[in-house]
């Protein structure tokens, strides 16, 4: 049995979709649905049971036998907003909840895989290498990134790295992210903006080494991300690993692919970046995938252009969620 926290969310629901395609339905999902439309991600999926996050916390803190048959906990539930300023909320939701799950997993000899984040790398001055011995040197630029860093450091301090697997996701985009509001990928937000005003606004560069729109990110399509997670499940590796494409691509290239997917000529306007973002902005990210590929993962991430066109044409235009294959 699989326990997936955040299972109604973006990456979580996509993982359930991938497991369903493998014929796996013995899945318990935990999440917080709230008043938004996250619930729509669950509609096509097949799973055994659903618990609200606080109910799941109560079950694990009571060491409930309801969860005793679990073979793996995949902890993807978190507040992922880089703009969240309530540090106490982030500590409880992203750090304390993770510790509770880890304690439960270790106590019951259940494997645990959890989502860390490339946001822990901060401005990238120390690189993007998933070296567990160096994580204490990283300086995240926002509280979200630090909440993830706190748990990585706790896992190392408690000598749990041989028992747990942390995944540092880069900029993941794709279907099932509609509910994320301002934290949706640029692809999703750009599609709506282009439909509305016929052009896309990108931030100007405020760094002398980068021209406007030439800031670079490691973009990872959700369909590749879930393949990487299932590889982790299959190989039973432990420790902390980057989950990314291993390529740095420009915002301009991403934007061009969006327009192509919409059968439109590129029309980009560069606008000033808000002052409050300038000292928190990452101009370059690129996951070092050496360690992950050494585990035997041989698949290559879908090229950016192909992935964006698939997302736009097969999911954004028809407003289609991920639907498991018929079985």
Strands 164-169 and 268-271: unpaired
- Please indicate whether residue 137 is annotated as part of the active site: no
* Structure token digits, residue 160: 């749990």
Q: Which of 97, 121, 128, 144 does the annotation list as catalytic? A: 144
SS3 204: coil
Helices (H), the chain: 10-21, 53-61, 87-90, 97-107, 143-157, 186-197, 222-235, 251-261, 275-278, 290-293, 304-311
E-strand spans in the chain?
2-5, 27-31, 49-52, 72-75, 111-117, 164-169, 171-173, 200-203, 216-217, 219-221, 239-243, 249-250, 268-271
CA atoms within 13 A on the CB side of 195: 11
CA atoms within 13 A on the CB side of 23: 1
Whose CA is closest to 18, among 226, 172, 174, 167?
Answer: 226
Can you give 222-271 as a three-state secondary structure string? HHHHHHHHHHHHHHCCCEEEEECCCCCEEHHHHHHHHHHHCCCCCCEEEE
- Please indicate whether residue 253 is annotated as part of the active site: no
Report the distance separating Cα 93 and Cα 90, nearest Å: 5
* Structure token digits, residue 2: 């699989």
Q: Which of 180, 253, 280, 291 does the annotation list as catalytic? A: 180
CA atoms within 13 A on the CB side of 4: 32
* Structure token digits, residue 307: 């992935």
Are 115 and 273 in contact by the 8 Å Cβ rule? The answer is no
Q: Which residues are catalytic?
A: 144, 180
């Amino acid at each position: 049995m699989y326990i997936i926290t955040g299972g109604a969310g973006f990456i979580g629901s996509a993982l359930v979709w991938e497991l369903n395609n493998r014929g796996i339905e013995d899945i318990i999902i935990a999440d917080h649905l709230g008043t938004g439309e996250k619930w729509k991600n669950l509609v096509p999926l097949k799973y055994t049971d659903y618990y609200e996050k606080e109910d799941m916390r109560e079950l694990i803190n009571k060491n409930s036998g309801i969860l005793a048959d679990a073979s793996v906990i995949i902890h993807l539930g978190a507040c992922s907003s880089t703009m969240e300023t309530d540090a106490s909320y982030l500590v409880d939701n992203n750090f304390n909840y993770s510790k509770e799950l880890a304690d439960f997993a270790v106590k019951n000899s259940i494997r645990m895989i959890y989502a860390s984040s490339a946001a822990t790398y901060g401005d990238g001055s120390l690189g993007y290498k998933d070296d567990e011995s160096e994580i204490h040197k990283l300086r995240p630029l926002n509280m979200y990134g630090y909440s993830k860093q706190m748990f990585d450091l706790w896992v190392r301090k408690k000598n749990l790295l041989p028992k747990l697997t942390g995944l540092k996701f880069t900029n993941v985009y794709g279907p099932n992210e509609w509910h994320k509001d301002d934290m949706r990928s640029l692809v999703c937000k750009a599609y709506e903006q282009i439909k509305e005003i016929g052009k896309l606004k990108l931030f100007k560069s405020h760094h002398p080494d980068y021209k406007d729109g030439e800031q670079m990110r490691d973009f990872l399509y959700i369909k590749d991300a879930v393949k990487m997670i299932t590889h982790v499940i299959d190989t039973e590796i432990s420790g902390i690993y980057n989950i990314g494409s291993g390529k740095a691509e420009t915002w301009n290239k991403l934007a061009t692919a969006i327009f192509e997917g919409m059968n439109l000529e590129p029309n980009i306007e560069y606008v000033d970046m808000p002052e409050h973002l300038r000292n928190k902005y990452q101009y370059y990210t690129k996951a070092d995938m050496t360690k992950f590929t050494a585990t035997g993962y041989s698949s290559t991430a879908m090229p950016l252009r192909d992935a964006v066109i698939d997302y736009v044409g097969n999911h954004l235009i028809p407003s289609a969620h991920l639907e498991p294959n018929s079985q």
